[in-house]
Structure 1
């Protein structure tokens, strides 16, 4: 079994709930970046030992939160030694708007993964675009690069869309399966 780590920042609890769904699917260890952008003790060692790393952040102003960016900037030390080269990477994001420029956040994650010499895992989940489609369908928001979630700004994390959460869970399964294949 591949060792998968989900590292994320959550501002209001939505990204945390999404991270929990992704981690459930991947049987992954969750690591939360705190409100000050700090990491728990031992995080860098945990990431070094992982076969796959999945990034998560809310989309704020068309990109990751500053707390996640602080972590990304600090990852220049493992970048310098290529410590994460050939790991499988993935990412997910959530915002209040249907679009909200979430793809900018996913592309940020992809770029970070590529700078580390990683292998990016897309969702691999087909989406529907028929009149019969429902908002609770899996991958209803139609993202191939990584799962995205949308919850109205006045709704709590407990009101997140079940289809979005299931998309995250299935994505976690996919990343873990791909990491296991690459492990040999």
Structure 2
């Protein structure tokens, strides 16, 4: 079975809930490593967690997750991405499959920019992007509610994470793990 590394930062627990949903979707298809970026990983503004980076080195697939703050990924996630440049120069993550998920404060809260950032990060590393193949607004279960084909974008409704978005996260994990399994 391939290894799926789910690399995420979460402050309020919403992105962590999505990370766990991605993991549930991959269950039985891939081994899963939940790789939470914490404040302790950032030293003088620089991400320093070699163990987390080595987990990604071993993975066949990676799911990137961060809340959307001010139109982009959280600074803690960005510190991780910046620290990955050592791997970039060696293309150590080339040909791994990648996907992304994010949550914002509003339905139109610029989550697409965060997903675009993740896809560009993956492209720089030579990774292969795995988006959603659920047409927005067309799924009978309500998955991909906000219609983002690039990855999962969500926001809280009445202070709660919609079940349809949790289901979308599970599907994204299943799709990413199955893609890595078929092609690994």
**TM-score (norm. length: structure 2):** 0.89
The count of corresponding residues between Structure 1 and Structure 2 is 175
Instruction: Confirm whether residue 116 of structure 1 aligns to residue 125 of structure 2.
Output: yes
Q: Which runs of 5+ in 2 are unaligned?
A: 43-47
Instruction: Confirm whether residue 35 of structure 1 aligns to residue 39 of structure 2.
Output: yes
For 1:142, the equivalent position in structure 2 comes to 147
For 2:19, the equivalent position in structure 1 comes to 19
Per the alignment, do residues 36 and 66 of structure 1 end up closer, same or farther by CA in structure 2, a change over 3 Å counting? farther
Q: Alpha-carbon deviation of 1:2?
A: 1.6
| SS of corresponding position for 1:8 | strand
Q: Alpha-carbon deviation of 1:40?
A: 5.2
In structure 1, distance between residues paired with 2:109 and 2:19: 19
Q: What's the CA shift string for 1:22-61, capped at 9, x where partnerless?
A: 1111232111001355465611211100000110000000
1:62-141 to 2 correspondences below 5 Å: 62-128=71-137, 137-141=142-146
> RMSD value over aligned CA atoms?
1.8
Structure with the higher fraction of residues in strand conformation: 2
Q: Alpha-carbon deviation of 1:143?
A: 1.0
| SS of corresponding position for 1:99 | coil
Q: Alpha-carbon deviation of 1:127?
A: 2.5
**TM-score (norm. length: structure 1):** 0.89
Q: Alpha-carbon deviation of 1:160?
A: 1.1
In structure 1, distance between residues paired with 2:152 and 2:79: 22
Q: Which runs of 5+ in 1 are unaligned?
A: none
